[in-house]
């Protein structure tokens, strides 16, 4: 059946007029009419939206052949088939992905897309963006990638053991010069053992550097009690402007460090023979400072302090538990990281079985819910979890129970809207 005929049948099965379907797809009625007359065929991204709106599986809309590789999505011919453990032909995998009952190379789904999309584009005449989008929609539905969640759970347990107290003691040696750790993981929402890391660093004379970008907006931080040598956080996660942040450093270390940039403001005296740097903190403020950004960040910090971290932590903990408990009840939704809500500091990273994170984000966005999808600037961690991308919901004190309810209601429909049924 041609796409035009298929679209008409699907629309009528859902008792939709052209106008009603167009409204759901955010296009004109004329566009739907042209598709149904066979004058044009919608692009890949629109096909994905049609699948999400109608519940029709994307491969059916695309008229994909019955047999294709369950690893890379390539159309299979008898000559292209891989082999099972006995050496016999395996009709569900290609020979480039599968040989003698095993995958021929370890990879993530994202890496597979990056590797195969250019060839798909070349062979079909698609643009590279269209090829990436198509593979991003199809691959999560394939057999190989159904095991991703199992890997997440297995490797997640391994990671928790790997980065425990004993592991930190073993990793920090007399050769160690710097120990760096994020206080809260921006991927998993886990509170990391920074006190242990700082103590281990100081035991061998190393410098401890703490990334507080994910923790500073959500919990009280006492750098002196923590005994961090350096601590940094960004402005925009503190409700402040972009392009501004904070670096704390112990005075004795900052005074001993030479500036890495030169410019006005940082010089107290200069001559042909040398210069004298201005007192801290101006010593490291080369050039024109971002005064507007600093003023905005100052206002944001004052606002957060006016609410109080006791209030912030209590509210965010309650919202996180509300969302966590509800997510656990949705079939096909898997929370990555903590096993209980109390282990997550306002971060809920998750996957939906068979659905690419970018499609998860697009569907939620259409329902007025904003999440982030991608590698979260943490590719090594996601590679370790055997996935190239996840979706991430971030909760803050300004969210409400109604926001969580909207998120859960939308999330619970995603698999159905992608054609998997109820």
What is the arithmetic mean of pLDDT over 190-215?
Answer: 93
Question: What integer pLDDT is reported at residue 152 of this predicted model?
Answer: 52
Question: Residue 409: its pLDDT value, please?
Answer: 94
* 251: confidence class by pLDDT, cuts 50, 70, 90: very high
pTM of the model: 0.64
Q: What is the pLDDT of residues 305-318, one digit of tens each?
A: 999 988 888 888 88
| Shared domain check, 326 and 352 | yes
3-state DSSP assignment of residue 240 = coil
Q: How confident is the model at residue 174 (pLDDT cuts 50, 70, 90)?
A: very high
- Mean pLDDT computed over 213-223: 92
In a domain? residue 167: no
Q: Kindly tell me if the per-residue pLDDT of 284 is higher than 60.
A: yes
133 and 183 part of one domain: no
Look at residue 281 and tell me if it is in a domain. Answer: no
327 within some domain: yes
Q: Are residues 140 and 14 in the same domain?
A: yes
Q: Are residues 71 and 198 in the same domain?
A: no
- Of 69, 72, 116, 377, the active-site residue reads 377
* Residue that terminates a domain, selected from 89, 115, 149: 149
For residue range 6-16, what is the model confidence (pLDDT) as tens digits?
Answer: 899 989 988 99
| Active site (annotated) includes residue 377 | yes
Domain closes at, from 249, 283, 307: 307
Higher-pLDDT residue of 155, 363: 363
Q: Quick one: average pLDDT of 284-304? A: 92
| Structural element, H or E, at residue 180 | strand 178-182
Residue 379 structural domain:
310-417
- Which helix H or strand E contains 335, and what residues bound it? strand 333-336
Regarding beta strands 102-103 and 98-99, do their DSSP bridges make them parallel or antiparallel, or are they unpaired? antiparallel
Looking at the structure, tell me whether residues 223 and 208 fall in a common domain.
Answer: yes
Residue 198 sits in a domain of what CATH number?
3.40.640.10
**Alpha carbons 77 and 399: distance in angstroms, whole number:** 52
Higher pLDDT among residues 272 and 124, named by residue: 272
**Is the per-residue pLDDT at 147 higher than 60?**
no
Say if residue 72's pLDDT is above 80: yes
If you compute the radius of gyration of the chain from its CA atoms, what whole number of angstroms results?
Answer: 26
Rounded Cα distance between 16 and 34, Å, is 16
Question: What average pLDDT does this structure show over 45-63?
Answer: 75
Residue 380 covered by a domain: yes
Q: CATH number of the domain that 68 lies in?
A: 1.10.260.40
Residue 24 pLDDT: 79
Whether residues 47 and 110 fall in one domain: yes
Amino acid 209: pLDDT = 97
| Residue 164 pLDDT grade (very low, low, confident, very high; cuts 50, 70, 90) | low
Strand, coil or helix: what is 379?
Answer: helix
Kindly give, in sequence order, each residue whose CB lies less than 8 Å from that of residue 131, ignoring residues fewer than 6 positions away: 117, 118, 120, 121, 124
State the CATH number of the domain containing residue 357.
Answer: 3.90.1150.10
Residue 170 pLDDT level (bands cut at 50, 70, 90):
confident
- Give the C-alpha separation, 257 to 251, whole Å: 10
- Does the pLDDT value for residue 150 go beyond 60? no
CA distance linking residue 75 with residue 139, whole number of Å = 13
Residues 127 and 197 grouped into a single domain: no
Task: Determine the Cα–Cα distance for residues 135 and 291; give it in Å rounded to an integer.
Answer: 46
Structural domain count of the chain: 3
At residue 249, the pLDDT reads 95
Q: Which helix (H) or strand (E) holds 252?
A: helix 251-256
- 93 and 71 inside one domain: yes
182 lies in the same domain as 94:
no
Least confident of 133-147, 154-168, 234-248: 154-168
Residue 225 backbone dihedrals phi, psi, to 5 degrees: -65, -40
Which carries the bigger pLDDT value, residue 130 or residue 28? 28
Give me the pLDDT at residue 207, please: 96
CA distance 142 to 147: 10
- For residues 183 and 139, state if they share a domain: no
User: Which neighbouring-strand residues pair with 374?
Assistant: 390
136 in the same domain as 87: yes
Mean pLDDT of the 265-274 span? 83
Domain end, chosen from 149, 180, 213, is at: 149
Residue 132 in any domain: the answer is yes
The answer to the question of residue 189 being in a domain is yes
pLDDT band with cut points at 50, 70 and 90 for residue 148: low
Residues 133 and 208 in one domain: no
pLDDT band at 157 (very low <50, low <70, confident <90, very high): low
Which residues does residue 352 pair with via DSSP β-bridges, in sequence order? 333, 355
Q: Who wins on pLDDT, 265 or 334?
A: 334
The answer, yes or no, to whether residue 210 has pLDDT greater than 90, is yes
User: At 232, is the pLDDT very low, low, confident or very high (cuts 50, 70, 90)?
Assistant: very high
- Bigger pLDDT: 232 vs 382: 232
Question: Is residue 118 included in any domain, yes or no?
Answer: yes
Please determine, for residue 421, whether its predicted confidence score (pLDDT) is greater than 80: no
Mean pLDDT confidence for 173-200:
91
For the chain, the residue count is: 422
What are the distances in angstroms from CA 312 to CA 194, 341, 349, 392, 407?
21, 16, 20, 20, 20
Q: Is residue 278 part of a domain?
A: no
Higher-scoring residue by pLDDT: 83, 111: 83
User: Would you state the structure tokens that stand for residue 320, as one six-digit string?
Assistant: 């996180």
CB burial of 253-278 (b: ≥16 within 10 Å; e: otherwise) equals: ebeeeeeeeeeeebbeeeeeeeeebb
Q: How confident is the model at residue 1 (pLDDT cuts 50, 70, 90)?
A: low
Where residue 82 falls (left for φ over 0; alpha for ψ -120 to 50; beta otherwise) is beta
């Amino acid at each position: 059946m041609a796409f035009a005929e298929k679209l008409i049948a699907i629309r009528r099965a859902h008792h939709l007029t052209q106008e009603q379907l167009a409204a759901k797809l955010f296009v004109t009625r004329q566009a739907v009419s042209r598709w149904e007359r066979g004058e044009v065929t919608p692009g890949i991204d629109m096909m994905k939206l049609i699948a999400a709106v109608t519940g029709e599986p994307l491969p059916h809309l695309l008229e994909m052949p019955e047999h294709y590789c369950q690893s890379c999505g390539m159309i299979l011919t008898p000559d292209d088939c891989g082999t099972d453990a006995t050496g016999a032909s395996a009709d569900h995998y290609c020979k480039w992905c599968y040989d003698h009952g095993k995958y021929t190379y370890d990879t993530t789904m994202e890496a597979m897309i990056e590797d195969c999309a250019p060839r798909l584009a070349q062979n079909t005449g698609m643009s590279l963006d269209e090829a990436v989008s198509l593979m991003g929609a199809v691959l999560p539905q394939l057999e190989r990638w159904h095991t991703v969640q199992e890997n997440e759970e297995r490797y997640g347990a391994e990671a928790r053991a790997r980065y425990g107290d004993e592991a930190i003691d073993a990793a920090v040696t007399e050769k160690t010069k710097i120990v760096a750790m994020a206080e809260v993981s921006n991927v998993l929402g886990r509170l990391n053992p920074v006190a242990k890391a700082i103590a281990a660093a100081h035991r061998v004379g190393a410098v401890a550097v703490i990334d507080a970008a994910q923790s500073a907006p959500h919990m009280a931080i006492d750098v002196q009690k923590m005994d961090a040598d350096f601590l940094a956080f960004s402005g925009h996660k503190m409700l402040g402007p972009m392009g501004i942040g904070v670096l704390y450093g112990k005075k004795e270390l900052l005074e001993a460090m030479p500036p890495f940039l030169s410019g006005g403001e940082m010089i107290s005296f200069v001559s042909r023979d040398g210069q004298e740097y201005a007192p801290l903190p101006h010593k490291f403020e080369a050039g024109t400072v971002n005064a507007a950004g600093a003023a905005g960040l100052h206002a944001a910090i004052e606002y957060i302090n006016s609410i109080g971290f006791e209030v912030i932590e209590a509210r965010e903990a309650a919202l996180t538990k509300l969302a966590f408990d509800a997510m656990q009840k949705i079939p096909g939704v898997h929370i990555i990281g903590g096993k209980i809500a109390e282990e997550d500091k306002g971060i809920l990273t998750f996957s939906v079985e068979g659905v690419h994170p970018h499609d998860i984000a697009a569907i939620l966005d259409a329902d007025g819910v904003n999440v982030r999808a991608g590698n979260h600037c943490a590719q090594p961690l996601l590679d370790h979890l055997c996935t190239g991308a996840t979706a991430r919901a971030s909760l803050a004190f300004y969210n409400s129970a109604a926001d969580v309810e909207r998120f859960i209601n939308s999330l619970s429909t995603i698999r159905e809207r992608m054609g998997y049924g109820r």
